[in-house]
Amino acid sequence: MLKMAKIGKVYRTGLVETAALEDLTLEVARGDFVSLMGPSGSGKTTFLNIAGLLDTYDRGRYLLDGVDVAGLNDDQQSRLRNERIGFIFQSFNLIPDLDVYDNVEVPLRYRRLPMGERRDRVEEVLVQMGLTARMRHLPSQLSGGQQQRVAIARALVGQPQLLLADEPTGNLDTIASRQVLDLLEKINAERQTTIVIVTHDPTLAARARRKLHVLDGRLIDPQAAREHAAS
Amino acid sequence: MTTLLYNLRLVGKSLRRDPWFTVVMVLSQALSVSIFVTALTTAQRYTNTGEVPGDVFRVEGQRDNTLMRFYGGSQFEIFGEFTANYVTVPMVHTLAATGLATASTVNFVAVMVGGPADRAPDRLPARFCDADMFQLLNVDFRYGGPFTRADERAAPPAPVVVLSDLLNEKLYGGADSVGRTLRIAGRDFRVVGVMRRRTGRMSLLDYGVPPESMANVVIPFAFADQLRPVPWISWPPAPAGAGWRAIADSASGVTEYWVRLPSEEARTRFAAALSAVGPQWKLHSAQEIARRFSKPPPPYRVFVILTLVVMEVSVINLMRMLLAKATSRAAEIGIHRALGAGRNVIFSRQLLEGVLVSMVGSGLGVVLAVPTVSMFDRLIPDMPIRLAVTPTVVGIALLICLLAGLVSGIYPAWRIASVPPTRYLGKV
């Protein structure tokens, strides 16, 4: 599903260069459930940005579902992002002016689906998320857990093959966190959706089928990660 | 269409989120547009005369005469022209004797004393002309009609007059005054018609007439000597009670001679007859004369240019405000990008916002221009032709505003669409 080979990314600020990713090589199979852990500044977010086609890389090769993304223009990347990737953000990133229904509908709008199909898909996913009663509520009228469920509904409505989640439980209490994790596991199991979660939280990471660690822009083995954490 | 409606909906929500900011953007655009429309309306007052017949000509002599030298470059020039278009009595007789013109009129403006018979006499500008003038210069009537050749040629001539609508407004409040009596230089005249003027525009008749004499009464030329008119302007001053013959014979008398010459042959032969009178005399078509007034006078052109500068400042201001607004919504734009909106989608949505704000501001500006124009009009009390916002001005203003909207929207739209989505989201 996702294949990165020797991906490198350097951020330049004036004369200062910061290597965010250094020869990162990673393969995630279709239907896999992967967690990526690492301290702040280790390159987790950069990895997720590149994986989600929100940022570019300086070197290496990235194939998304067999497509080399380097050769795609902005329009093609946007289409690929819309059709194959779903995002779940730590801070939910719902659009404050739009109600639950309209928020969930946004990805389908960019896919230019007919109104009837959009409605059916949105209603279906809202039923799955238990949000039908909140359909016309604005995000500000929902709890944190409900907002994250809306964000998950929005990520799933386009039936993406890859779900990228950044600290999906970072702003939630314990009960809501558990519900979100249960939901992600269910999605992975039932829909065979590939999930990549970036997190600090070992409990959350432990729920993934594959646990990866990143440090200074490189993947490291679990033993090295434990030693780094101990130090 | 669906995409456009969706974009309009999102733009509407965006504009409603910070209503005061939106109001400031719209108002700043509206104010500059209203000033621009005012300038354009003012300038347009001095241009064009509408439909001008192709076979009507005026006799003109050399332009370097006493009046030209005296008034050239002064503020009076903006109200008309000082051409040496005077004619003398023998000259008119000579030209009329050719029999080539199917219609002709001598025409000059003078100052009389008079007014409604039941009121005290006052200064009364008067235009003396032949009956043919009404058809030669396409004069339209609001009430009644023109006096006729028969009125002029009757013995004695029929004491009938036509009022300009400005004079009718001044004397009778704009009511139908046909049949009323005007007493001019002690003689009674019956009003037979009131001319109609195109709103906010001068007519060919008005050029060369000072503002204070535009509200005038039109008297058959047959009375030009009997009433002893005083020319509105002459240098050296014409003696009081001198009459038209004295005016026409003076070095500075402003007396026009208009003719209709339908065929090319008639024109050639008439021009030859004119050359025989004097080499400086030429025939000039009404269309050519109208073209001289196709541009507003320099002060009003400067006014329009200045307001265009104000518009430019307003466009830059709107551009900055749109950019600030887009930047404040950067996170939301980042979400749309993450969910599949390409750069072109963000660009067109931002551009739509700019154009929408600009067009709403422009519409409001045009509405605001109506009282602004009226207020501006009152600041020039001597100008009798009332300013009016015409559809042409509105069309020009809206076209320029649409361009301004596009210009002010393009840069913020391009800026916001060019930034990578990670910059907005900060963290995905």
Model ipTM value: 0.90
Give me the tens of pLDDT residue by residue for chain B, a chain 428 residues long.
778 888 898 889 888 888 999 999 999 989 998 988 888 888 877 665 566 788 999 887 755 555 556 555 554 554 445 554 567 777 888 888 889 999 999 888 888 889 998 899 999 999 999 999 999 988 889 999 999 999 998 989 999 999 998 899 889 999 999 999 999 988 999 999 999 876 656 677 776 677 777 889 999 998 988 888 776 665 556 666 667 666 666 655 567 889 999 999 999 999 999 888 888 788 888 888 877 766 777 777 888 899 889 888 988 999 999 999 888 888 888 899 999 999 999 999 999 999 999 989 989 999 999 898 888 877 765 565 667 788 888 888 888 888 888 888 899 999 888 877 787 674 43
Domain assignment present for residue A179? The answer is yes
Burial class (CB in 10 A: 0-12, 13-18, 19+), B292: exposed
Backbone angles phi, psi at B276, to 5 degrees: -65, -30
- B5 interfaces chain A, CB cutoff of 8 Å: no
d(CA B12, CA A212): 45
A-chain residues near B1 (CB < 8 A):
none
| Amino acid letter, residue A20 | A
Residues 6+ apart with CB under 8 A from B218: B126, B127, B128, B129, B133, B147, B161, B162, B163, B164, B195
**Is A90 in the B-facing interface, judged by CB distances under 8 Å?**
yes
Stated pTM of the model: 0.70
Closest-approach residue (CA) in chain A for B330: A95
User: Look-up: residue for tokens 């456009």?
Assistant: B4
CB within 8 Å: A112 and B2: yes
The C-alpha of B338 sits at a distance from chain A's nearest C-alpha, in angstroms, of 7
B3, containing H or E segment:
helix B2-17
Q: Is residue A54 part of a domain?
A: no
Residue B114: name the closest of B176, B180, B65 by CA.
B180
Residue type, B179: G
Residue B232 DSSP SS3: coil
How many domains does chain A divide into? 1
Give the residue on A whose Cα is nearest the Cα of B337: A78
Across B98-244, the runs of DSSP E, i.e. the strands, are 103-116, 122-129, 140-144, 160-163, 181-184, 187-196, 217-220, 230-231
Name the residue ranges covered by the structural domains of chain B.
Answer: 2-46+298-425, 56-292
The closest CB to that of B335, out of A90, A95, A111, belongs to A95
* Contact partners, residue B278, CB within 8 Å, separation at least 6: B61
Helix (H) or strand (E) holding A5: strand A2-13
Is A96 in contact with B345 (Cβ distance < 8 A)?
no
Angle between helices B19-44 and B391-418 (to 10 degrees): 140
The full DSSP string for A80-107 is: HHHHHEEEE-TT----TTS-HHHHHHHH
CATH number at residue A161: 3.40.50.300
Residue B283 is classified by DSSP as: E
Task: State how far the Cα of B217 lies from the Cα of B128, in Å rounded to an integer.
Answer: 8
Query: A2 lies in a domain?
Result: no
Amino acid at position B206, single letter: D
The reply to whether A5 falls in a domain is: no
Enclosing domain of residue A40? 30-45+82-230
Is A22 a member of any domain? Answer: no
